[in-house]
C-alpha cells in the first residue's frame, strides 16, 4: 500500500512538471510571436507602402474578445484602423526614401466618420507632394472615393463603377412592433430635436427631426463635394452626380463614363494595377505572381516609425465610443476606466498639458460627468486642457468637452445634441395579450415604481420628467459657463439639435478648426512650450497580448504585405450598396443602447449613421441573419 501511495505521488509530480513545461512552452511561443511581430519587414531598396483598409477608420479600435477571434478564424474580418496611426504612418512616408509610392487598396474599406476620412485625405496630400499615391477599387462609394480623390492616380476595375450616393437613408421605427407586442415606451425628454426616442413612439420622423437632419446632411454633403473638388479639380463631380441622380445612363460602361468625367484616371484590373505599381516601387526579388510588387505592410511601417519620445510630455486622453458607467475596454468610454487612467497619468507629474480627443455620441449622464470631473481635476493641477473633436462629439461627448479651455474641431465634425432623454418600457399590454395581470400593495405611492408590469403613474411620470429637466438645466449651465454664453442662448441652440462643425463654430460651440496634431501644438503653447519640442503620451490601454497572439495564429491580424491579395468582392453594386447586415447592425446597436443603458441618457442616436456600426453589432447582426437563413 505504501508503494502505491509513493507511486501515485511520483506520477502526480510528473504530471505537474509536464503541465509546467507545457505552460512555459505556451508562454514562450506567445513571447516569440509577439517579439517577432515587433521587427519590421521592409524590402531591401524600399517599396510601396500599402494601405489595404479592410474595415473602418477608428479613433480607438474596440477590444476584440479572444473567443470572437478564435470563433471567426478564417471568416470575413472587419478590422478597425487607428486614425492617428494611419496619419502618422503617412507623415513618415512622405519624406522617407524607402517608400517609393503609397498604394490605397480600397476594396473592403467601410469608411469611418467623414472627419476621420478627411484627416487621412489631408495626410495623403502631404505624401502626394513628394511621391505618387495610387488608388485602386472595384467600386467606389462616398468614403472610398473621398480618399481616392487625394491620389495622384485613381484606378478603377473595368467592370466597376463610382457610385457615390451622399449621406442619409432610412432607419427603423419600432412603435408598430411595440404596439403589436403590447409594450408601452414611456418617454421623457427635453429638447424638441432630441429625436433619439422617436423610433419608440412614432412610426416616422417628426418634422423637427427631419428639418434638423436635412440641414446636417446638407452641410456634410457640401463639405464632401468641396473636399473632392479641391483634391481633384479635373473631376466633373457635380455633372457626374447629376447624371446619376437624373437616371441618365451613358452609352459607355459605368467605368468608362467615370473615366470620361475625370473621376478616375485608369481602367484596369488588379494585375494591371500591380504592374503599374511595380514600375514605380519595383518588382519582388523572388519569383512573383502577376501583378506583384515590392510592398511595405502598414503594420510594419508603423513599427518602424514609433511615436516620438523626445521633449516634454503632452497627455492625450481618448474618449471614444459610447460613454458608460464603470469600467470598459477600448472602444467604449467607461467613466471609471478613463477617470482612473487619467488620474494615474497626472499623478506621475510629467505631463505639461492635456489634450482630450473626443469621438463619442455620448451615453450615460453619470459616466459623462465622471470623465468631465477627472479632466477638471487635472485642470486644477495647472494643466492646460485642449479639446480635440473627431468625427463625432455630441451630447455626452459635448458634456465632456465643456471641461476644455478651448475646443478644436473639423468642419465635418458632428457635435451639439445638447439634450436629455429617458425611456422606460412597461409590459401591461403584453401581459393582457397573454391573459395575465399584476397586482400588489405599496408602502408608499412610489414603492416598486416605475412598475414594469402595471405601467407608470402620473406621479412617477412627473417625477422622472422633473429629473430629466434638472439634468438638462445642469447640462446647459455647463455649456454656458464653458462657452461664455447666456443660458438662454445655449437653450436656443440646444434642444437636442445636432450641428456640423462649421456651423458649430459660427454659433459658438467650437473655437477653431484643426487636427489632433494642431491640438497638441495648441496645448504646448498654452503650457509655454515649443510645439516642436514636445511629444504626445497616449492615455489608453493597448490591445492585449493574448488577442494579438490569437490574431497572428488565426491569420486575422491586419497589415499583410501581400501585394496580390484579393480584397473585397467583384460586384461593385454589392460592395457599394447599404448591405442589410449594416442596417441591421445599426438597429441592434440602437436597441442595445436603449435596453442596457441607464434610464436617463445624454446620447445622440440621430448620429448613428455618422460612423460604421461597431464590429460587435455587425457580428450580432450577421448571426441573426444566419439563424434566419438569410
What cell numbers appear for 452 in the block?
414594469
Task: Match 477590444 to its residue by C-alpha cell.
Answer: 63
Beta strand 534-539 pairing with 414-416: unpaired
The active-site residue out of 100, 131, 194, 294 is 194
Local structure of residue 38 (DSSP, 8 states): T
Beta carbons of 402 and 368 less than 8 angstroms apart: no
Sign of CA pseudo-dihedral 365, 475, 539, 410: positive
Beta carbons of 232 and 164 less than 8 angstroms apart: no
Segments of 279-350 assigned E as strands: 295-297, 312-320, 323-324, 333-334
How many Å separate Cα 3 from the centre of its chain? Answer: 65
Nearest to 539 by CA among 410, 354, 405: 354
Quick check: bond before 450 cis, omega within 30?
yes
Nearest to 478 by CA among 408, 522, 420: 420
Q: Which residues of 358-388 are buried (b: 16+ CB within 10 A; e: fewer)?
A: bbbbbbbbbbbbbbbebbeebbeeebbbbbb
Beta strand 385-394 pairing with 266-267: unpaired
Torsion-angle region of residue 536: left (phi > 0), alpha (psi -120 to 50) or beta?
Answer: beta
How many Å separate Cα 472 from the centre of its chain? Answer: 27
The active-site residue out of 391, 395, 557, 575 is 395
Determine the Cα–Cα distance for residues 617 and 320; give it in Å rounded to an integer. Answer: 16
Determine the Cα–Cα distance for residues 473 and 455; give it in Å rounded to an integer. Answer: 28
Task: Let me know how long the chain is.
Answer: 630
Determine the Cα–Cα distance for residues 469 and 476; give it in Å rounded to an integer. Answer: 11
How many Å separate Cα 248 from the centre of its chain? Answer: 36
How many Å separate Cα 160 from the centre of its chain? Answer: 27
The 3-state DSSP class for residue 192 equals coil
At CA 135, angle to CA 132 and CA 137, rounded to 5? 165
Q: Specify whether 596 is catalytic.
A: no
Q: Specify whether 194 is catalytic.
A: yes
Classify residue 195 by burial, with Cβ atoms within 10 Å: 0-12, 13-18, 19+. buried
Determine the Cα–Cα distance for residues 147 and 270; give it in Å rounded to an integer. Answer: 18
Determine the Cα–Cα distance for residues 520 and 526; give it in Å rounded to an integer. Answer: 10
Residues with Cβ within 8 Å of residue 483, at least 6 apart in sequence? 402, 490, 508, 509
Active-site positions read 194, 395
Amino acid at each position: 500500500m505504501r508503494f502505491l501511495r509513493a507511486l501515485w505521488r511520483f506520477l502526480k509530480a510528473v504530471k505537474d512538471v509536464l503541465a509546467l513545461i507545457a505552460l512555459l512552452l505556451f508562454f514562450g511561443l506567445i513571447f516569440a510571436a509577439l517579439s517577432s511581430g515587433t521587427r519590421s519587414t521592409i524590402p531591401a531598396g524600399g517599396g510601396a507602402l500599402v494601405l489595404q483598409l479592410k474595415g473602418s477608420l477608428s479613433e480607438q479600435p474596440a477590444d476584440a474578445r479572444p473567443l470572437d477571434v478564435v470563433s471567426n478564424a478564417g471568416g470575413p474580418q472587419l478590422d478597425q484602423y487607428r486614425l492617428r496611426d494611419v496619419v502618422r504612418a503617412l507623415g513618415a512616408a512622405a519624406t522617407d526614401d524607402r517608400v517609393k509610392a503609397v498604394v490605397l487598396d480600397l476594396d473592403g474599406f467601410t469608411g469611418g466618420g467623414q472627419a476621420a476620412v478627411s484627416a487621412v485625405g489631408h495626410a495623403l496630400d502631404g505624401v502626394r507632394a513628394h511621391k505618387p499615391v495610387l488608388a485602386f477599387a472595384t467600386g467606389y462609394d462616398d468614403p472610398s472615393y473621398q480618399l481616392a480623390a487625394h491620389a495622384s492616380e485613381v484606378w478603377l476595375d473595368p467592370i466597376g463603377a463610382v457610385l457615390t450616393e451622399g449621406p442619409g437613408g432610412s432607419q427603423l421605427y419600432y412603435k408598430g412592433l411595440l404596439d403589436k407586442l403590447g409594450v408601452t415606451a414611456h418617454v421623457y425628454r427635453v429638447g424638441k430635436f432630441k429625436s433619439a426616442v422617436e423610433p419608440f413612439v412614432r412610426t416616422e420622423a417628426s418634422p423637427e427631426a427631419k428639418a434638423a437632419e436635412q440641414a446636417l446632411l446638407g452641410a456634410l454633403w457640401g463639405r464632401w463635394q468641396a473636399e473632392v473638388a479641391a483634391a481633384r479639380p479635373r473631376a466633373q463631380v457635380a455633372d457626374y452626380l447629376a447624371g446619376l441622380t437624373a437616371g441618365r445612363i451613358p452609352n459607355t460602361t459605368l467605368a468608362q463614363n467615370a473615366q470620361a468625367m475625370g473621376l478616375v484616371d485608369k481602367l484596369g484590373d488588379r494585375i494591371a494595377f500591380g504592374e503599374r505599381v511595380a514600375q514605380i516601387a519595383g518588382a519582388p526579388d523572388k519569383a512573383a505572381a502577376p501583378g506583384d510588387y515590392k510592398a511595405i505592410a502598414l503594420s510594419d511601417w508603423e513599427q518602424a516609425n514609433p511615436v516620438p519620445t523626445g521633449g516634454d510630455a503632452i497627455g492625450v486622453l481618448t474618449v471614444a465610443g459610447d460613454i458608460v458607467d464603470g469600467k470598459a475596454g477600448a472602444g467604449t468610454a467607461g467613466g471609471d476606466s478613463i477617470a482612473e487612467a487619467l488620474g494615474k497619468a497626472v499623478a506621475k507629474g510629467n505631463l505639461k498639458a492635456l489634450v482630450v480627443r473626443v469621438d463619442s455620441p455620448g451615453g450615460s449622464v453619470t459616466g459623462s460627468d465622471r470623465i468631465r470631473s477627472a479632466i477638471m481635476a487635472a485642470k486644477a493641477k495647472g494643466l492646460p486642457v485642449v479639446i480635440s473633436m473627431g468625427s463625432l462629439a455630441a451630447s455626452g461627448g459635448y458634456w465632456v468637452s465643456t471641461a476644455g479651455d478651448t475646443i478644436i474641431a473639423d468642419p465635418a465634425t458632428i457635435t451639439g445634441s445638447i439634450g436629455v432623454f429617458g425611456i422606460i418600457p412597461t409590459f401591461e399590454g403584453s401581459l393582457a395579450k397573454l391573459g395575465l395581470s399584476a397586482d400588489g400593495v405599496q408602502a408608499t405611492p412610489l414603492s416598486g415604481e416605475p412598475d414594469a408590469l402595471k405601467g407608470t403613474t402620473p406621479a412617477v411620470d412627473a417625477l422622472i420628467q422633473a429629473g430629466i429637466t434638472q439634468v438638462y438645466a445642469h447640462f446647459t449651465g455647463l455649456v454656458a459657463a464653458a462657452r461664455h454664453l447666456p443660458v438662454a442662448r445655449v437653450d436656443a441652440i440646444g434642444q437636442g439639435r445636432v450641428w456640423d462643425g462649421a456651423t458649430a463654430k459660427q454659433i459658438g460651440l467650437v473655437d477653431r478648426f484643426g487636427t489632433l496634431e494642431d491640438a497638441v501644438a495648441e496645448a504646448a503653447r498654452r503650457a509655454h512650450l515649443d510645439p516642436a519640442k514636445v511629444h504626445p503620451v497616449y492615455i489608453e490601454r493597448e490591445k492585449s497580448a493574448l488577442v494579438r497572439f490569437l490574431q497572428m495564429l488565426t491569420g486575422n491580424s491586419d497589415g499583410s504585405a501581400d501585394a496580390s491579395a484579393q480584397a473585397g468582392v467583384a460586384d461593385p453594386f454589392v460592395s457599394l450598396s447599404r448591405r442589410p447586415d449594416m442596417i441591421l447592425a445599426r438597429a441592434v446597436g440602437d436597441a442595445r443602447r436603449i435596453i442596457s443603458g441607464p434610464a436617463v441618457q445624454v446620447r445622440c442616436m440621430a448620429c448613428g449613421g455618422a460612423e460604421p456600426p461597431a464590429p460587435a453589432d455587425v457580428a450580432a447582426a450577421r448571426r441573426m441573419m444566419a439563424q434566419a437563413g438569410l
